Structures are given as structure tokens and as C-alpha cells.
Structure 1
């Protein structure tokens, strides 16, 4: 009997709880911030690895063979155009020059003798004292003597040039590289290694490559009938150094290679940077950062999206404030924002925050509605 009474009381308790739950009001819709989609302007930045070279990088090589007698500069020194760098032992070349000069003097003396012979025979032939044949022979000898003088002068010039080559001077101003050869080394024109490298780095060139698709996009993005016209419309570029610091001077892309590399399928571009303080040297590496303007595009915060299985979604509101998960196609990034190519359009509304647990079809109360803001 007691057991029957206990079960009856428990049943009455359940009925009472059910009545209370049935009478409880449903949870109200969540109030969430919403954005109205409108056109905006944004800038995206793309980075490309670069190899930096001086405006002029010259290999310094000897044009004569010999022993390296003197080195006038040190590694890393700044030199000006025309400044002596190296001295090759000039004794053999000085002797060649002296011999050539002596041969020229002898040839000039032979011309004088041949001229005198012609002058002597001319009146004799006129008076028919000697035959005309002797005068013709004398004139031929004079011509040979003059040709010998011309040949000797050429030998003297060559000897003088070779003698001058024994002093190796800087062809341009710039910084001296490594000096692999030391004083006393035997120098040859055929040496595979240069004496040093001279870099003019008052301006430096940063070379980087674009893939074929990127280059096509580049050509369609900027106005102009020629590549030169399009380069004029390209904004200044930044240089990110290997330690991720930004080089203080902005650069300008001023050259596009004439053809694609058959091996890599890429084309080379060149950006020019001023380097008056010599902070950059040939061989530096880094990344060039190109900013591209995107007018009249759709820009939304990355925080207003969710990524599921490599797809990006937003939570789209209909006219009744019901939520639908909508996939979008992202065309680029601008800071913490996405540039949207497909999926939403002008006039749509999306939920900005608090959408993580919203099922499709859930109704919300829009709050803090804001339009997409132009970003320059």
C-alpha cells in the first residue's frame, strides 16, 4: 500500500513539472551585430623575394699576365672612378715599350734615307743620267719605309696600352669586394676568378619574378597601352629586409624583362631604390612589397567569417532576419579584412559576431548595424 502511495506522489510531481515547463516562455532571438554590405576601396599587399644588386657590379680582371706587385685598397673600401686598385709588375711591358719605341725611331730614320735617295735620283732621271727604273725603286723603298713607320707606331701604341694595363684602376665608383689574390700572386688573363668585384651602390636594383598568371593580372590591373605606361601607374614599393625591418626608402618598379624564363615560367621585374647611405650592398636579400589598389570592391572583416573544410562562410540575413550560412570566394586580404569576389553582393546583410552556434534558419535581432567602410 505504501508503495502505491509513493508512486502516485511521484507521478503527481512529474505532472506538476510538465505543467510548469509547458507554461515557460520560449528563448528570445539573440541580438547580434550586423553589417550592411556596400562598395568600398581597399589595398592589398603582395610580397616577392628579391635579390639585390648594385646599379653597377663590375668584375675587376687583369688584361695582362704577370706578378701582382701592389694592392692599393682594402676589402670593403669605397673607391672613386679612376683610382688605382692593383699594380702588376711592369718590367716586361716597359721593355716591350722601349723596344717598340726604338724600332719606331729606326723606321723613321729609314724614311729619311729613302726620301733623300728619291730626292737625289729625281734630277738625275730628269737629265737622263740614270734610268727611270732606279727612281721607281727608290720611291718603292720610301713607301716601304713609311709603311714600316706606321707599323712601328702601332706596335708602340700596343706596348703603351699593355704597359698601362699593369696599373688596374677603378672603372666606376663603388665598394670593393673580396680580394682573393694576395701580393706576389701570379696573375693571368685566363684566371677563372676575378681580382675583385666593384659595386656602385648609390642606387640598388631589387630583382623579383612574377608568374605568368600574376603578370597577366598586372597587365590588366593598370591602365596604359605599353608596359612603360603601366609601370608609371604602379605605386611605389617597399623593401622588407631579411630581419623583417622595412627599408626607409621607397622604390619604383622601372623594368620588366623582355621574355619569360623557360625553366621557371616566370618573368623578372626590377625595382630601383636610392641607397645614398650605403645601407644596402650587392648580395642582400629581402622581399619587395607591392601595394595594389582595389576600388569598388566588397570588404568584410575576417572575424565575420568561418572556415569549414577549406571553404569560407558568412552568415547571411534575409528580410525576416533569418540566418543562412553562405559560402564566399575571397580575392585577397587587406590587413584584417577579406576582399570578396563572389557569394554576397551590395545590399546584403551579414552577422558580424556571435554566429558560431547559429543553425540555418535561426532568427536574430539585428543590432549595431554598420556599413562596410572604405579602406584606402
Structure 2
């Protein structure tokens, strides 16, 4: 009985093995007969593209005139408001000068006394009754009295504070009744000319060398004059409508920060920009006839950027590429691929090294369209 059961189990095992082998053979045959998966393929080409590097910037008006008191006193009247447009010579503040007016009266009286003394001595000198030295002394006292009166009169005039430039009034730091003096560290206000604005930014030594190498000219002045217009990215992320121009560079590395300061200027016809604004400067770099690769055609592996090339047998081979810059959804490539290559344009996550595919020839511009749509707002 036991012998019969053993034969039955052995027969069943042989049957299962034969059935399994048949199934695997059938699956292998089906896989071999299945067509290779289709992937879009593009031929490499060169393009001229413009990339931008961004640097933080601070904005100031081209003229910032700090308004300060030239005499001590209480503010009697504030004649303007914050944000108001003013002209050169327009009255901004009036400072109480009553005590100065009293001093001026006393100084005027001293002039009269000194004049009387001079008038009295002139005939006495002419008659040789007194020495001419006494007359000269009296004249000197008269001149000193006049100078003192002129100084006090000027101080009275300083009580009326006027704008030194055309511009816009900033924050008013002192109001009516405040005691102010020339020694105050804080100005009464600042009047800024913001018809144009300066954008200040810094580059490190390496960035500065790249900047100079991308500019045409024999010296720094020519390079700055010939450099392309730049963009300003506002704090809300929008691009400022006016293009800017880099005007000056210190040309020296700050030992404390390791950076070199530059200044750009932007027209500001609508007064959208003002003192204290922040943003980012966009400096363009043009890559002429560069080999570019769509980012969708790449993947990352162990810190390397890679893509799949197509060989003559329609099999894919992975390759590491070296990227010089990123421009929109393109990589500017320096090595790892050349113009004779064809690469897989998308779907690279489904590929394996040595895998056979059915290539679908696609134009370079067509390969970019699906990626570009993803970034639309």
C-alpha cells in the first residue's frame, strides 16, 4: 500500500514539473513574439540659448538727500507729507526762530552803537585830537557787529528748511513740537530722486571672472559698456518691465566678504521702485551653438546626470553627461553626448541598459512641448 502511494506522489511531481516547464516555454515564446516597446527618439543638435544667473539686490534712488536742521529749535510746521513729490527749493519744514529774532534785534542795536562811535571819532582824528588807532579800533568793532548780525540773520533763514533736490519725500521722522538740532543722528526726512534707481549687488571672485569673460572689450570700462541689458526680478517674482544696465564695478575684492560690488541703473518712469526695495538681478549668459539636452531625456543616478543613447541595433545604452548650465527645461552639455548621437527623449524611467526598443523619430522642438506645458501658470 505504501509503495502504491509513493508511485502516485512521484507521478504527480513529474506532471507538475512538466506542466511548469511548458508554461515557462509558452511565456518565453510569447515575450519573444511581443513587439519591442516604442519610445520617442531625437537626433542631437545645437541651439543658441540664453541662461540667467540671479543675485540678490537692494534698490536706492539715484539721489537721496538727507534733510537736516541747521539750527536748533522746535518744529513749528511740517509743510509736506510722506510720499509727496517736491521740487528743489520747496519749503519742507519751519523751525521756531523767535529767540533768534530777539538776538538779531540786539545785534542790530550793537551795529548802531558801533556806527555812532565811528562817526564820533572821524572828525576828532581829522583834527588830530586823537590817534587814528582809536578810529581803526572803532571800525573793527563795527565790522564785527555787522558780521554777528549777518550770522544771526542767516540762522533765522535756516529756520525755513527747503528741499535741495527734486524728488519724493520719505518717512518724516519729526513732527510739530519736536526739538531738533544739527547734531541729531536721524534726519528730518529724506528726499529721493527715483526717476531712475540704482540696484546694488555683489559677485564672488569666480562669478566676477565669469562675468568679465562673457563681456566684450579690452578693459573694464569697455566690458561694462558693451555688456547686455539685465533684468530685475521684483519681490513678488515678476520681471520688472524696464531693462537695466550695469554702470560701475569696484573691481576690487572686499577682504571681509570675498565679493566685488557692482551697480546697475534702471529707468523708473512709473515710480514703481523706491528706496529699500529688494529683488534679484538676472545677468544673461548666451551659449552660442551649444549642444543641449531636454531635461525630460535625463535621469539622476548616484549624483550623475545620465541619458540613454540609441545604437544601430535599436538598443539603448546609458551615458553620463556633464552639464555646464541649465536654461529653462534644457541642459547645456559639455561632454557625454555629441551631434552624431540619437537619444531617448522621454520615458527613460522605463528603460534598462541594453534594452531593445522600437524608436519613434521625433523632432527636437516637438520633444520639448510636453515639458514646456507642465510649467505654464
Same fold by TM-score greater than 0.5:
yes
Summarize the Cα distance change of 1:241–1:23 in structure 2 as closer, same or farther, 3 Å threshold. closer
Q: Which residue of 1 aligns with 2:321?
A: 328
CA distance in 1, matches of 2:28, 2:279: 68
1:300–1:372 CA contact under 8 A, matched in 2: no
- Judge which range, 107-116 or 95-104, deviates more: 107-116
Among candidates 53, 60, 65, match of residue 53 of structure 1: 60
Where do 1:34-113 residues align within 5 Å? 34-113=41-120
Where do 1:201-280 residues align within 5 Å? 201-280=194-273
CA apart distance, 1:19: 6.3
CA apart distance, 1:72: 1.0
Where do 1:135-146 residues align within 5 Å? 137-138=131-132, 140-146=133-139
CA apart distance, 1:59: 1.9
- Judge which range, 283-292 or 11-20, deviates more: 11-20
- Judge which range, 35-44 or 22-31, deviates more: 22-31
Q: Which residue of 2 aligns with 1:344?
A: 337
Summarize the Cα distance change of 1:229–1:105 in structure 2 as closer, same or farther, 3 Å threshold. farther
CA distance in 1, matches of 2:115, 2:37: 111
Stretches of structure 2 that go unaligned for 5 or more consecutive residues are 369-377
- Judge which range, 362-371 or 5-14, deviates more: 5-14
Secondary structure of the equivalent of 2:254?
A: coil
1:58–1:197 CA contact under 8 A, matched in 2: yes
Q: Which residue of 2 aligns with 1:124?
A: none
Secondary structure of the equivalent of 1:95?
A: helix
* 1:63-84 superposed Cα distances (whole Å, 9 cap, x missing partner): 1111111111122222211111
Question: Larger RCO: Structure 1 or Structure 2 (Cα < 8 Å, ≥ 6 residues apart)?
Answer: 1
Stretches of structure 1 that go unaligned for 5 or more consecutive residues are 122-129
Secondary structure of the equivalent of 1:292?
A: strand
Report whether the alignment pairs 1:161 with 2:118.
no
Alignment TM-score, normalising by the size of structure 1: 0.83
Summarize the Cα distance change of 1:262–1:98 in structure 2 as closer, same or farther, 3 Å threshold. farther
Q: Which residue of 1 aligns with 2:172?
A: 179
CA apart distance, 1:366: 3.8
